Chains A and B, each alone.
Chain A
C-alpha cells in the first residue's frame, strides 16, 4: 500500500547553515547535508530544502549544497526558494534535486508551472501555497506570507494542477507555528478537489496532529520543521505511532 510520507523541511541560508536547529550531540548543528542524512536514517521519506538566502552569491552556494545532498542522501529531495525561471530549475535538477517547489513566482506568472512541467515532467513541479482564512475564505499570500492576493486556495490549486503541478504543498499561515494541528478542513477540501497529491504543512505540535492530517485531512504527506529540528517528535517514533494507528507508513 502506498505509504503516507513524513517530510522534514530545512531552511538553508548561504548554502551552509540550517536555521532553527537545536540538536544535542550534533557535530555540526548547522550542516544541511549531515542533518538530511540524519533524518533519512531516522526514517524521513523525503526532504525539502528551502533556500532563504537573499544574496546572489548565496544562490550559487545553494546549488553546491544541492549537489552535496544528491551525493550523500539516498532518499528524494525537493528544493525551493526564489525559483522563477526554467533555467534555474534546470540548474537545480542537474545538481541532483528530484523536485523543485515554486510559490510566489507561480502566482505572479502561472505559465511558469506549464513551462516546468512540459520541459521536465509534472512530477518535478511542486506548487507551494501559503494561505490564510479570512472571513471564511482561504486567501493565497505571496512574499513569504506578507502580501495577500486575489486568489482563493482551492481555485488556485486547481489551476496549478491543470497547468501541470505534480503536487500541492499547502501551508496554513493561521496554523503555522501555533502547534495546534494542521488545517485539516482545508486539506480535506483540497483532497476532494484535486487529483494530485497534497502535502500538509504548518501547525503540527504533537504526533496526533499528523494522524489527523492523514485521517481527517486525507493529506498524502505531512511536512514539518521545528518539531523535528528540536527533536520534540523523533521521526522513528512518529512513524511507529502512525503504524500503530493503522496509517500506512514506511518503517
Chain B
C-alpha cells in the first residue's frame, strides 16, 4: 500500500492522479498507524513552510513522518520540511537532511525571476537512485522561491542563480524539490523508480 500524507498541501490530488496514471492506487491519510503500515509514503507539499509545519506539529504528524522506516518521498515543501530549518517563516523542520532552506536572492542575477518557475535540468552529483542515466540532464518542473543548499545528502542538483539540491537522500528518506507529478514522462520515470525501491 502506498500512502500519501494528508495535510494542508496543495498537490495531494495531483500526486494521487500521477500515481493512478502509473496504475497505483494510493491512500490519502493522516492516520499515524496507516502511515506506519504503508509500504511507501509520499509527503507532498505546495504552500508556505511555516504554516505547513505548524499544521503537521499540531497533528503530531512531524514525529510520525520522521520516525518512518519504509521509503519516504518528500516533494517540494515536503522536501523542505525534512531539512533542518527554513527561512520561509523562520521555522525548524524535521532535520532528516543536514541542510537549510533559503530564499533565492537574485541580486547577482536580476534577470532571474523569483519564483523559479518552469522546466529546468537536473544533474546527478553522486549515485542517485531517482536520477539515473535515463533522467540525468533532462528537464523537470519547478515552482519555488526557496531552495535547500547542497549538502552531504544531495544526490542531484539544478542550477538557478546558485546550484541547489534537486534530490536529497538519506537512508529511507528521498526527496525532490521539483514536482515529479507534473514533470511529464521524466516525472513518471522518477516516480516509478521510487515505487520500485
Contacts and interface: CB of A to CB of B under 8 A. Distances in A.
Contacts of A2: 112, 116, 118-120, 160
A5 B119 contact: yes
Nearest to B181: A74
A70 B117 contact: no
Given A2-B120, A3-B139, A121 B46 contact: yes
Given A123-B143, A196-B113, A94 B13 contact: yes
A98 B113 contact: no
A173 B14 CA distance: 34
A22 B23 CA distance: 33
A123 B119 CA distance: 14
Nearest to B187: A74
Contact of B115 (A5, A71, A76, A122): A122
B114 interface: yes
Contacts of A3: 118-120, 139
B129 interface: no
Interface in B24-64: 46-48
B17 A76 contact: no
A24 to B, nearest CB: 25
Contact of A121 (B47, B118, B121, B160): B47
Given A71-B17, A93-B10, A121-B47, A197 B185 contact: no
Interface residues of B, number: 38
Contact of B113 (A1, A45, A220): A220
A1 B120 contact: yes
A123 B117 contact: yes
A205 interface: no
A124 B47 CA distance: 10
B118 A45 contact: yes
A194 B145 CA distance: 16
B20 A71 contact: yes
A169 interface: no
A74 B117 contact: no
A40 interface: yes
A1 B188 CA distance: 21
Given A75-B141, A120-B10, A195-B106, A5 B113 contact: no
Nearest to B138: A250
Contacts of A167: 117
A121 B139 contact: no
Contact of B118 (A5, A95, A124, A218): A5
Contacts of B14: 70, 96, 98
A127 interface: no
Contacts of A123: 46, 115, 117, 143-145
B47 A76 contact: no
Contacts of B111: 191, 218
A221 interface: yes
B83 interface: no
B113 A197 contact: yes
Interface in A52-87: 70-72, 74-76
B118 A220 contact: yes
A96 B13 contact: yes
A74 B10 contact: no
Contacts of B141: 75-76
5 contacts: A2-B119, A40-B184, A45-B119, A123-B143, A196-B115
Given A72-B21, A166-B117, 11 more contacts: A2-B112, A2-B116, A2-B119, A2-B160, A5-B119, A74-B184, A95-B13, A123-B143, A123-B144, A123-B145, A191-B111
Interface of B: 10, 13-14, 17-18, 20-21, 46-48, 106, 110-121, 139, 141, 143-145, 159-160, 179, 181-185, 187-188
Interface of A: 1-3, 5, 40, 45, 70-72, 74-76, 93-96, 98, 120-124, 166-167, 191, 194-197, 218, 220-221, 250
3 interchain residue pairs of minimum CB distance? A250-B139, A3-B119, A250-B119
